[in-house]
A and B are shown apart, each in its own frame.
Chain A
Amino acid sequence: MTISTTVNGKAVTLNAEPDSPLLWAIREELGLTGTKFGCGIAACGACTVHVNGEPARSCSLPVSEVAGKSITTIEGIKGSDGTLHAVQKAWIAAQVPQCGYCQSGQIMAAVALIEKTGKPSDDQIDEAMTNICRCGTYPRIRKAIHAATGQAATAVEGAA
């Protein structure tokens, strides 16, 4: 079947089986490979995108459910002039990524959290940032979220 949706501001028509997950349409049909496959069961968050502004784990979201909705991927959060999103800049400043594979999902989760809360508290960060990172970049993720929202990064002394 064909599904009409909007991805990163552009109207697209996806040709996919209704039960197939959004992740594979994004990666294989649209060629947007910044969104990653990690587990396939919405447990790790590497596939996090925004659907109508809400974070969603696209590996377990049937493509039929996004018809008519607006999807944003990691490729779509830069400014229209190509400048990095404040969260991306904070990620570089804090030198967050190690292997980097989970970081698109982490950044998408963080952007959604910040859009919702403005200045998330540590408790709100704990609650929202449930994406898995095997390299253990969590202290720097917390620090980068603080920095991106103008909060002093005092909590995480270890993160340089």
Chain B
Amino acid sequence: MADNPTLEMEQPTPVKRKGVKRRAFLIGGVAIVGAGLFGISIMDSNAVKTAAKLTAGKGEHSFATWLKISEDNVVTIYSPHTDIGQGSNTGLAQMLAEELDANWDLVKLVSAPAESAFANVGLGRGFLGEMTGQPGIINGVPQSFLSFLARQMNLQITGGSTALRFTGQVTFQKVGAATRLALIETAAKRLGVPASELTTQDSHVIHAKSSRSLPYGKLAAEAATLSLNNEPTLKDPKNYRLMRQSVPRLDIPAKVDGTAQYGMDFSVPDMRVATIMAAPVRGGKLTSVDEAPALAVKGVEKVIKLDDAVAVVAKGYWAAISGLRAMTPQFTDGGNGAISTASIFKAYDDLIAKGEPAGEAGEGDVKAAMGPKPIEAKYQVPFLHHAMMEPFALTAHYKDGKLDIWGGMQDPLASKMMAVDVSGLDSDKVTFHPMLIGGSFGRRLPMYMEIVSQVTKLAMQLPYPVKLIWSREEEIAQGAYRPQSAAILKANVTANKRIAAFSNDYAQTESAEAETTFIYNLPAVARRNYEHKSNQITGAWRSVNSTQQGFYNESFMDELAHAAGLDPVEFRRNHLKADSRHLRVLDECARLANWKAPLPEGVGRGVAIVESFKTIVAHVIEASVKEDGMPKVHKITTVVDAGSIVNPDAAKAQIEGGTIMGLSSAIGEAVTLEKGAVQQSNFSDYPLLKLADAPLVHDIHFINSGAYMGGIGEPGVPPAAPALANALFAATGKRVRNLPILTQAKA
């Protein structure tokens, strides 16, 4: 195996890593991909052998890393993805079991160990474009995500709506199909019949002519010695038994009776609980702290000072948080004490006014086509917190030169490597044990998981296991937020009610170009980004940059439609290509929503259509303003074209949830800064949408266009905010250009 190249993380990291080699961020992923893991060589590769050793016990036989079959006919699938609630692991199991023709009742799904043998080769293939045989596999994945992965190469990540699209399509379906062929080959030999006479169903190979059948479990030992077919033919979708079915999710029963074990729930004998406070102004350092008040709290055992944080270790969480709150640690502001929400918006305004963008994309001569009097509007959106319901909680234990960590992260393997990096231990001395995740939405990605570093530092100096829990206050103050962003949009709408030129000048942390798709067919378009960094960490927030851009473009299209005196659906139609998927989604959504039907007094209807992660979603929202001035959503009609859908009900749940997250953030969420620190502290001042304000009717329709499979976890979010703002304009005549909406639409 070739040496891995040395790669640096570009993202600013809050973690101080003195004297630690960065190589730890690089692991076998690249080399494994380079060695050509899939196919015949898979059977000989060290990674596959390692995986087999790690998973297959007595009477169990491993196939191509991700699958084992036991002699009692149980199929166990190892997922390299962390199911963060989107049901993707059930979808992955459906894809593999479909091609394997496995008996679904005897399929088990477990998390792959956080070991490099289980690095996600499907992702590697997709991202590196090596040996995929599937051109376009990386379409629809944000460039920033690709380059991030290319730098990290830990490849056990969950994000970017990639689980089913990459791991599923590139790896799992093929592993299922190839294993099925090996089982048939084994059965043919044993039954003395040609393989062509054999069929498979419910984990059995069947010879109909002689009415004989053999369970997979009786064939597995021998089949596992065969070389797997490199490029097995996949099933014709019309023969699907599991895919495209609303199979109940495998993880749900344990989530209704309290038995599901999240990172927060882990415990081992002798364990202590710690909680922590980092510098309130990000970038600041701990200067001093009087430990006495904390140590006076019953149950508190130790105060540990880190470079930029102070932690309290106690018998339990209540003692730990009481101890922490009893202290008044002093921090510097790292020179960031003048940063505020207003100062960041001011910097954005200045940058855009100066007119020297960091990047530019588009087509046509916008300058010439813009004309002397363009329509212009300025929009602003705030930092957003992920607000995963389970606060960060990791347990670590350093004993006899070995470090074990338990918890839920979107990339267990990268988490392990961060712990290797911080502890200075060799990688074979560190084990990360993945656990269920109580929500993530982009928060638990490796770029921002300073808790791994923190818990490692605590464990390395404690003689017992320690569970580090972040309080909700710490979660909100130390987030990796959706960027605060602003944009100035301009367009020239000519006398024929057509857009001649359209420009979008936006400022935030970095370019959004890679994550966003501009869907309209216009003669001249310019998208220019202006980059300004504050002391905050900005990151992937469900649908990555598509929420801001979706809000800007779809609000402005609505403004242009009204300026042109045209119906917003008709105006959009005029600027979409005939026979395009976008046009079909828009038309279907308008039709199903009864777009032109009269509404009660005070209720307005708004539309928005956004493509993200290769999936097109249109929402039509009916909304009004409540007595207290806040928006009320009555009904949503949604049309989704994700190409094809693996599990329709689970996909629907993602669109429902994504829409609600989009509405919640649009209506009431904002992280604001003053003197460099976050002003919000808990759900009391960072309010999330509750059941009473969720739409009573959400009508969701899928178009199975057969186009390349798009994502489903994220694309429901971006059109929600503009569809609501457009509905409120229709209801009240008030145009809301700054999020959150709050009471801005009040008469």
Contacts and interface: CB of A to CB of B under 8 A. Distances in A.
B652 interface: yes
Contacts of A101: 262, 388-390, 438-439
Given A100-B260, A130-B690, A28 B472 contact: no
B699 A158 contact: yes
A71 interface: no
A99 B261 contact: no
Interface stretch (B37-45, B554-562, B657-665): B657-665
B684 interface: yes
Given A129-B691, A136-B660, A34 B652 contact: no
A130 to B, nearest CB: 6
B715 interface: no
Contact of B264 (A21, A32, A36, A135): A36
B653 A140 contact: yes
Q: Which of B437, B682, B692 is most buried by chain A, counting CB atoms within 10 A of its CB?
A: B692
B317 A24 contact: yes
B518 interface: no
A41 B471 CA distance: 11
A11 interface: no
Given A31-B267, A38-B389, A88-B256, A138 B700 contact: no
Given A41-B684, A74-B258, A159 B388 contact: no
Contacts of B649: 95, 160
Interface stretch (B27-35, B53-61, B79-87, B340-348): B79-87
A130 B691 contact: yes
B441 A35 contact: no
B691 A46 contact: no
B72 to A, nearest CB: 25
Interface residues of B, number: 76
B265 A95 contact: no
A75 interface: yes
B656 interface: yes
Contacts of A91: 252, 256
A138 B390 contact: no
Contacts of A41: 472, 682-684
B587 interface: no
Contacts of B659: 136
Given A35-B258, A38-B391, A92 B248 contact: yes
A39 interface: yes
Interface string A127-157: 1011111111111111000000000000111
Contacts of A12: none
B387 A134 contact: yes
Contact of B256 (A24, A97, A130): A97
Q: Which of A37, A44, A134 is most buried by chain B, counting CB atoms within 10 A of its CB?
A: A134
B255 interface: yes
B109 interface: no
Contacts of B389: 36, 38, 44, 46, 99, 101-102, 132-135
B273 interface: yes
Interface string B78-103: 00000011110000000000000000
A13 interface: no
B198 interface: no
Contacts of A21: 318
A107 interface: yes
Given A24-B318, A139-B656, A38 B692 contact: no
A78 B257 contact: yes
13 contacts: A21-B318, A32-B258, A41-B682, A78-B257, A96-B252, A100-B85, A101-B389, A104-B258, A126-B692, A132-B683, A135-B661, A158-B636, A159-B652
Kindly list the 4 A-B residue pairs having the minimum CB-CB distance in the complex, ordered from nearest: A34-B258, A101-B438, A99-B85, A136-B660
Given A33-B265, A100-B438, A135-B85, 7 more contacts: A32-B258, A35-B258, A73-B258, A74-B257, A100-B260, A138-B694, A155-B697
Interface of A: 17, 20-21, 24, 27-29, 31-41, 43-44, 46, 73-75, 78, 84, 88, 91-92, 95-104, 107, 122, 125-127, 129-142, 155-160
